[in-house]
Copies of this chain bind each other. A is one copy, B any other.
Amino acid sequence: MRIVVTNCNTTQEMTEEIVRGARAAAGPGTTVSGLTPAWGPASAEGWLDSYLSAAAVLDTLRTYDGPPYDAVVMAGFGEHGREGVRELVDAPVVDITEAAAHLACLLGRRYGVVTTLERSRGQIEDSLETAGVARNCAAIVGTGLHVLDLGDEERTETAFLAAAERACAAGAEVLVLGCAGMTGLQRVVGEKLGLPVVDGVAAAVKLAESLVALGLTTSRIGTYAEPLPKRRVWGRPEPR
């Protein structure tokens, strides 16, 4: 099966890193392709970025003309757009935010999210709440790192461990990597902390594979019915 993974920002290197993480998680029969939006923010860090990103990701999928795919994984922790993609495509759609939380719920009584900037906490909180998996979230903690700083592995690891401690003090027994750019960090910090750490990209790939294997896809009878046919303009007529 083919899974398309959409990056929420325009940074090609991040798409590549996410795809590496997704491939590491994918089963033998799964092909993973990454999609980088042609427009949007260079990184999504805040509400404005998130809404810009949501439209750009929708446009990317709307105009996709590659080989047919079986599922979409949306890689943007706490970013918007999930429900719109569910309307747009026929294949099942899994967002890494909800995916990480779903698996985390199976591994401990309460989970914690360690993310980049403190300002992202609100979006993550709302995303978990509306996905229906916020109840067992004990804490969402920021590391103070910017998305594009995550390349510095040592600094990232140190900041992650400090934030993890706060999450555990709040009751978390399982941790979630709160940014697609943290993919790969789960094993090393998991070992140091002695608890399971869930990467949303990997989680979403496995959930997408699961849905495809079971022949399940988005319900069309209610809120996620196909978009109504109408005139829509995707981005400004004359680009600036």
Contacts and interface: CB of A to CB of B under 8 A. Distances in A.
Interface of A: 10, 25, 27, 38-43, 45-52, 54-56, 58-59, 63, 80-81, 83-88, 92-94, 98, 102-103, 105-110, 118-119, 121-123, 126, 129-136, 146, 168, 171, 173-174, 187, 194-196, 198-199, 202-203, 206-207, 209-211, 213-225, 227-228, 230-240
Chain copies in the assembled complex: 6
Nearest to A49: B227
Given A87-B46, A214-B203, A223 B105 contact: no
A217 B105 CA distance: 11
B51 A51 contact: yes
A202 B210 CA distance: 9
Contacts of A122: 83, 109, 222-223
A37 B225 CA distance: 25
Contacts of A88: 48
Nearest to A62: B48
B108 A223 contact: yes
A46 B228 contact: yes
A65 to B, nearest CB: 12
B51 A231 contact: no
Contacts of A238: 239
B48 A84 contact: yes
B107 A216 contact: yes
Contact of A98 (B48, B54, B106, B203): B106
A236 B233 contact: no
A216 B186 CA distance: 10
A152 to B, nearest CB: 18
